[in-house]
Structure 1
Amino acid sequence: MSNETPTPSRKPRASRDVVVATICGFVVALMVGASYAAVPFYNWFCRATGFGGTTQVAESAPTHITNRSVTVRFDSNIQGGLPWKFVPEQNEINIKIGEVATVYYSVTNQSGDTTTGQASYNVTPLTVGSYFTKINCFCFTEQTLAPREKRDMAVVFYVDPSMLEDSEQNGTNTITLSYTFYPVKNPAPKPVAASEPDKGKKNL
């Protein structure tokens, strides 16, 4: 009688390896997908809640202006080597809550090349983001400047009267609106206007 121990089959182990590899691949794919989905979800969440000082967007002015005033200060920054000079035309204004205000930022391309940038923004205190509302802003689109071009860009905004209903904002007398311009390496192509039909040709 042979004393040799029978060699166990490798098929069960191989099957387990395939299952483990499949599960790992699925988890990695899920994590990658979640990382991409997190960006638009985070942006939506910030806009909806004012989280992190993200301001709100409106198409029209509020229905009434209150008697309480706040000071709004303006800040400007450039990041990533963008060769621009970017400054607010005034450092601060005093407005009533509910009042629509228009302020201007000036930007100059100091280089000899056409460059494109886009601004990110927030307000401080961060909890005011859900009440600080923009009607129009240069930050909504990419800005392309020709060499040495200077441009004045408007921001139209108001502080929503509903802020007065938030007891946490009772001591808020100053709000800082801050912009930071970042370079855009691959700007979105501008649509080309359709050429007019040749007037000398007859319609067939």
Structure 2
Amino acid sequence: MANLNLTAPTKDVRNKRVAIALLLVVAGMVGMAYAAVPLYQIFCQVTGYGGTTKRTDDNAVSIIDREMAVRFTASVDASLALDVKPAKMSIDKIGSKVKIVYTATNLSDKPLATTAAFNVAPAIAGSYFNKIECFCFTEQVLAPGEVKEMPVVYYLDPELDLDKELDTIKQVTLFYAFYAS
């Protein structure tokens, strides 16, 4: 008859297993914390949730007679030596492809890397705001004293005109928040 060792693991072995399991849980939680922001941003860009604009590679299907004003604003993290001038308000027919330019100036004597997060107000209009080209899709690096033009190409989806909640809206605001990257 073979000698089978059916005894329970020792207390030290059980403690090591619990410690390893807890370390794996903590590592998983840290990983999810880092993944949450990019995953949420992707979700918002796809759905337009919370005023986040959609990213597209194409122009609108049609241009309609209704006009919409788009106002541009920006804020810069206080820790950045960066001056950002938003574009002037644009009033165009819905569905028109529009190009505007933000201008950023590095006020420091060191290279500066920045990224911009964006939003649209009113939030319900975010799902109709489609960006074809935007500086916010990539990190922007400015040399000391450099002035950089940062273009945005967008259109408002003509489906906006069918949304009864937006019947009285005459202006949409595109907002960028610049922070160090």
TM-score range, shorter chain: 0.7 to 0.9
**Counterpart in the other structure of 1:119:** 116
Residues 27-80 of structure 1, C-alpha deviation per residue, up to 9 Å, x if partnerless? 434323332332332122111111221111111211210111111101011104
- Asked if the contact 1:66/1:98 (under 8 Å) is kept, the reply is yes
Name the TM-score, length of structure 1 as normaliser.
0.75
**Counterpart in the other structure of 1:110:** 107
**Counterpart in the other structure of 2:3:** none
- 1:152 maps onto 2:165 in alignment: no
Distance 2:107 2:21 in 1: 54
Residues 72-125 of structure 1, C-alpha deviation per residue, up to 9 Å, x if partnerless? 1010111042111111241x1211110111111111112222222111111111
Distance 2:139 2:165 in 1: 35
The structure 1 segments of at least 4 consecutive aligned residues displaced by more than 4 Å after TM superposition are 11-23
- 1:176 maps onto 2:146 in alignment: no
Distance 2:129 2:15 in 1: 55
**Counterpart in the other structure of 1:31:** 29
| Letter of the structure 1 residue corresponding to residue 166 of structure 2 | Q
The higher radius of gyration belongs to 1
- Asked if the contact 1:97/1:161 (under 8 Å) is kept, the reply is yes
Distance 2:110 2:12 in 1: 60
With over 3 angstroms needed to count, the CA separation of the structure-2 counterparts of 1:176 and 1:80, relative to structure 1, is same
With over 3 angstroms needed to count, the CA separation of the structure-2 counterparts of 1:78 and 1:23, relative to structure 1, is same
Alignment of 1:1-150 (within 5 A): 21=19, 23-90=21-88, 92-150=89-147
Superposition deviation, residue 172 in structure 1: 2.0
**Counterpart in the other structure of 1:165:** 162
Superposition deviation, residue 153 in structure 1: 1.9
Gaps of 5+ in 1: 1-10, 185-204
More helix by share: 2
Percent identity over the alignment?
41
Residues 123-166 of structure 1, C-alpha deviation per residue, up to 9 Å, x if partnerless? 11112111101111111122122222212221111101111222
What RMSD, in angstroms, separates the aligned Cα atoms of the two structures?
A: 2.3
- Asked if the contact 2:121/2:174 (under 8 Å) is kept, the reply is yes
- Asked if the contact 1:108/1:149 (under 8 Å) is kept, the reply is yes
Paired residue secondary structure (1:130): helix
